[in-house]
Amino acid sequence: MPESAALGAPLLVQEYQDGTPADEAWEAMDSTQRMTFASDLGQLVGRIHSCSGPWFGDVLGTEKYPDIRAFLHTLVDSRLAQAPEDITSIGRDGLSAAIHRAVDAVPLDGAPSLTHGDLWRPNVVLREGRIACLLDFEHGRYSDRVLDFGKLDEHIFNEFPEGRAVFLDAYDEVCALPDDWESRVRLGHAVHALSMSVYFLRWTPKWAPQYVCELEEWLATQA
């Protein structure tokens, strides 16, 4: 097995897993199979998030942050730096103030969790109708676990809302949700919408407005 100079340990790069991506199987799945998928996914994501890291930042430790707020403030600032001045009705500065206020309300005792960073159906592989593995951990880091809920809710549960409670119940059994999880997830959605806004404004502007609208909707809840 090859050695990684960065890790100082053996490294295996897994490029292929036999199975069917969940997005290809989705249309043929009945309601029972989809509910089973939601439950299995909840358990799997809970297991990933139960892996606590030694710091907030990338897994190699090239960037380390002392606590969850410092990590989130830096992440938000990096996204805002790419945003136009008029990204929302209250401008970039108004959006910045609102998000940073929400970050300041996050409890400091939050532990760094291993997060996937790209949770949607194409990265979920099925075998015989059940989840076999997750692919593409290239965005994985030790992070605030609620950040994974942005893409999950957008790409899986927005069109399959009946499965969200099943997912959350299965997740909570493995990795208990905090008491303030709903407000924390809303913040995770806002950070996801900001990230997607600046990404699509740069590369595919026609997709950006839906994320800007989500930011406006989140801002309305902060007034």
Q: What's the pLDDT score for residue 215?
A: 98
Q: Report the CATH number at residue 35.
A: 3.90.1200.10
State the DSSP code for 53. Answer: -
- On whether both 93 and 148 belong to a single domain, the answer is no
Is residue 95 a part of any domain in this protein?
yes
Phi-psi region of 174 (alpha: psi -120 to 50; beta: other; left: phi over 0): alpha
- On whether both 161 and 191 belong to a single domain, the answer is no
Is residue 124 a part of any domain in this protein?
yes
- Which residue carries 């990933």 as its tokens? 48
Beta-bridge partner residues of 64: 57
Q: What's the pLDDT score for residue 97?
A: 98
Is residue 77 a part of any domain in this protein?
yes
Alpha-carbon gap, residue 70 to 103, rounded angstroms: 9
| Mean pLDDT, range 178-182, rounded to an integer | 95
Alpha-carbon gap, residue 21 to 7, rounded angstroms: 30
- On whether both 124 and 148 belong to a single domain, the answer is yes
Contact 132, 126 (CB under 8 A): yes
Query: 151-170: per-residue pLDDT in tens?
Result: 999 999 999 999 999 999 99
Measuring CA to CA, which residue among 114, 107, 135 is closest to residue 19? 135
Q: Which of 99-103, 135-139, 191-195 has the lowest mean pLDDT?
A: 135-139
Host H or E run for residue 64 = strand 64-65
Contact 36, 128 (CB under 8 A): no
Alpha-carbon gap, residue 74 to 54, rounded angstroms: 18
> Could you tell me the strand order of the sheet in which 130-134 lies?
20-21, 124-127, 130-134
- On whether both 127 and 170 belong to a single domain, the answer is yes
Query: 46-88: per-residue pLDDT in tens?
Result: 999 999 999 999 998 999 999 999 999 999 999 999 999 999 9
Direct distance between the N- and C-terminal alpha carbons of the chain, in angstroms, rounded to an integer: 55
- On whether both 149 and 183 belong to a single domain, the answer is no
Return the amino acid letter for 8: G
Host H or E run for residue 198 = helix 181-203
Split into its structural domains, the chain has a count of: 2
Containing structural domain, residue 163: 19-53+111-177
